[in-house]
């Protein structure tokens, strides 16, 4: 499924970003969670 491929790509991208910018983004954990829910939710509509 295309949607599943997009979600897997998004997960891999977010995982890389989180590894790279973990210290900087630690403070924005809640905002990142909201963004993730929003981004995934868009594909599920």
pLDDT value, residue 4: 86
pLDDT value, residue 23: 62
pLDDT value, residue 27: 62
pTM over 0.75: no
pLDDT value, residue 33: 76
Number of domains in the chain: 1
Helix axes 29-44, 2-20, angle to 10 degrees: 170
User: Residues 8-13: contacts with CB within 8 Å, 24+ apart?
Assistant: 10/39, 10/40
User: Residues 15-23: contacts with CB within 8 Å, 24+ apart?
Assistant: none
pLDDT tens figures, 5-44: 888 888 888 777 777 766 665 666 767 777 777 777 777 6
pLDDT value, residue 45: 52
Measured CA to CA in angstroms, residue 22 lies from 1, 27, 29, 42 at distances of 31, 9, 9, 25
Instruction: Determine the structural domain holding residue 8 and report its residue range.
Output: 2-44
């Amino acid at each position: 499924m295309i949607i599943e491929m997009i979600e897997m790509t998004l997960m891999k991208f977010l995982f890389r970003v989180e590894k790279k910018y973990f210290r900087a983004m630690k403070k924005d954990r809640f905002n990142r969670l909201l963004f993730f829910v929003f981004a995934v939710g868009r594909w599920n509509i």
